[in-house]
Structure 1
Amino acid sequence: MTNKSRWITETGLSLALLIVIQMLTSPLKNTLLTGSFVNLVLIVAGSIVGLSSGLTVAVLSPFVARMFGMGPAFLVILPFIALGNMVLVLVWHLVTRADISNTHVKHLIACVAGAISKFLVLYLTIVKFVVPILIAPPEPQAQILSGMFSVPQLVTAVIGGLAATAILPILSQVRNRKTI
């Protein structure tokens, strides 16, 4: 299999996993569960398949979620969610490529740095910029959107990052195993 074919296959599988997770968890209306799994998939795609794969899945994620009735009612917010996802993947990638000998320490630093970065992007773009333009702040919808894109985003990114820290070493070994 060529590198390009492998990338397409693995990125497609990552996106398929993301879709299955969103389909299974969307009826539960539990953004903590769904968000944590989505962040896990984003990090794994970026770490195992490669940065371009993680970024591709990061961009498509909010649009796929919208297809399943998850996420905000305002479509204008979706690109900002994609941007936050991309920042998570990019920060994780940059930190784990740093010259730190202990892989677990690298992953924990990536987890915290990625979660904070994603949170800041979403909070500053959506809560502080987009929501005030779309809705007058005392409105209940403004409060709901602001709540969705603040601390819960930080929490789900940390949970996804911690889960990735636990399973990435195993996935790396499995992926690099030679088959007969």
Structure 2
Amino acid sequence: MTNVTAHMTMSLDGYIATHSDEVGALFEWYSAGSVEVESRNRDIRFRPDELGAALVRSMMTDVGALVSGRRLFDITDGWGDQHPVGAPVVVVTHRPPADASRWPRTTFVDDVPRAIALAKEIAGDRDVAIASADVVGQALDLGLVDEVAVSLVPLLMTSGKAYFGSLTSGPILLEDPTVVAGTRATHLRYRVRR
């Protein structure tokens, strides 16, 4: 069965980027070790510690489709049509780019339920990952997320874009976490309680 996981790297005070979309020290854990992990995107390299490397490798193995918002897609220029985990991307947007054919591995849909359904179809028996805060909030509100994952970084940003900023329903109960304490990040996974 396909598992839908929301996964983001977050500061201790709940932010995933600055107001101007910069991540800075948040992504330090991806290069804080000595284990080389080659991503599926030749322009992006990872060098986390052993525990972080296991997490990155599992994402590349387990994730069969990724759901993104348009803003993240634009910031990354669609990852050059090759997301680092190697999975096809489904972008939630009301404004698909005029040159959408530049990204043949990317599909544009206009709402979160359709995006999750399509990503599940694309993923088959593999997992679906959600990597945009607004999409995560909407998917949680709709009961479409099975697991919340956080790579929690020892950083206080004091302001920025919140991981759960668009969440409106609640409370949403989560099970006890699986905890992996790595270098520059503690990786937490919570099943959503149904």
- Could you tell me the TM-score, scaled by structure 2's length? 0.29
Larger Rg: 1
- Could you tell me the TM-score, scaled by structure 1's length? 0.30
Structure with more strand by fraction: 2
Which structure would you say has the larger RCO, counting Cα contacts within 8 Å and 6 or more residues apart? 2
